[in-house]
Structure formats: C-alpha cells, structure tokens
C-alpha cells in the first residue's frame, strides 16, 4: 500500500498545504525485454536462407527501378546542371542504401552457413509485463530468454 508523506509550508502558517508529495510504492508494474532464441535446425536454416534470398532479390529489383526512375527524373527535371546533380545525388544515396542492405544480407547468409545445427541463434526481442517489488533481483528479472525449436517453446530461462 502506498504511503503518503507531506511537507509543511512554513511554521506558523495557518494553512498546511503540501509543497511536494512523496509517494513510496511497494510494487510497480513494468514492461521488460525478453530475448527470443531458436535452436538452429535444417528447416530453420532453409527458411532463413530463403528469406535472405528474397530480400536480396527485392533489393536487386529496387536498384533496377531506381535506375529507371533516375533516368525519367533527369529527362523531366534535370534541365539545369544543379537540378541534374541534385537528382543524381539523391538516387546515388538511395542506391547505396540498397547496396548496403544487400551486403548485410550476404553477410547474414554466410553466418548462417557457418553455424552448426543445434546452435542457438537470437531471433529477436519481445516485451513482457512484470510486477516489481522492493527487494527483487533486477538482473534476474531482466535476463529472461525463451528458447524455441521447430516453432515450439522448449525452455524459458531466467
């Protein structure tokens, strides 16, 4: 139960109003992260590699579309050297973003090929609601992992 403490204004004052209310809580409800890990199986490896290939192919299509869009924009709006340079700069940045994403995906693909079957890989992070109490071990509350294999939860570690 919350306890309320009040501070009085000044001694001799006819009215006693709180300057600042201090509330001491016994517990509080928070959202904390939960790490989701998966045991690498052949099926999971194939699924991850398939997703990476789709992502790389999508980036290739986007790069081709950016080339078309750049050419069209230069024809329509690139009448002055400044306008043409601005258009080229914009499309160069967009192309570089896609090339960087492709490089990241290629790196992920190499990492997945190097991993042994049975290795634990981080899939992401979710949040959970937890009730904290005075005296709880914060490290224990914050370090929770859910381990899955073939889309089934096999362990919850804390």
Residue 1 confidence (pLDDT): 46
Q: How far is Cα 108 from Cα 18, in angstroms, rounded to an integer?
A: 59
pLDDT averaged over every residue in the chain: 86
User: 126 and 144 in contact (C-beta within 8 Å)?
Assistant: no
> Residue 118's pLDDT band (boundaries 50, 70, 90)?
very high
pLDDT at 134 over 90: no
% of the chain at pLDDT higher than 90: 56
**Rounded Cα distance, 92 and 100, in Å:** 12
Specify the higher pLDDT residue, 23 or 14: 23
Per 3-state DSSP, the chain is made up of helix, strand and coil in percentages (nearest 5) of 45, 30, 25
Enter the pTM of the model.
0.67
- pLDDT for the residue 74: 87
71 has pLDDT over 50? yes
Backbone angle region of 150, left / alpha / beta, with phi > 0 → left and psi within -120 to 50 → alpha? left
pLDDT tens profile 22-39: 777 788 888 988 999 999
- pLDDT band, residue 111 (cuts 50/70/90): very high
Rounded CA-CA distance 150/17 in Å is: 62
Residue 20 has pLDDT above 80, yes or no: no
Q: What is the mean pLDDT of residues 54-77?
A: 93
Please give the average per-residue pLDDT across 113-117, as a whole number: 94
Q: What is the DSSP letter of 9?
A: S
The average pLDDT across 141-158 equals: 90
SS3 155: strand
Backbone torsions φ then ψ of 3, nearest 5 degrees: -105, 140
Q: What is the CA radius of gyration of the chain?
A: 28
């Amino acid at each position: 139960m919350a306890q309320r403490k009040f501070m009085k204004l000044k001694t001799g004052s006819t009215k006693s109003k709180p300057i600042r209310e201090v509330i001491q809580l016994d517990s509080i409800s928070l959202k904390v992260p939960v790490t989701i890990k998966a045991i690498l199986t052949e099926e999971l490896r194939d699924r991850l590699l398939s997703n990476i290939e789709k992502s790389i192919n999508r980036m290739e299509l986007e790069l081709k579309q950016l080339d078309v869009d750049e050419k069209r924009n230069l024809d329509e709006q690139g009448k002055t050297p400044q306008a043409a340079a601005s258009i080229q700069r914009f499309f160069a940045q967009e192309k570089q973003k896609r090339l960087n994403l492709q490089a990241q995906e290629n790196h992920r693909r190499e990492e997945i090929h190097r991993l042994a079957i049975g290795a634990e890989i981080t899939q992401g992070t979710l949040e959970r609601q937890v009730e904290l109490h005075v005296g709880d071990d914060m490290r224990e509350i914050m370090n929770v992992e859910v381990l899955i294999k073939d889309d089934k939860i096999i362990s919850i570690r804390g």
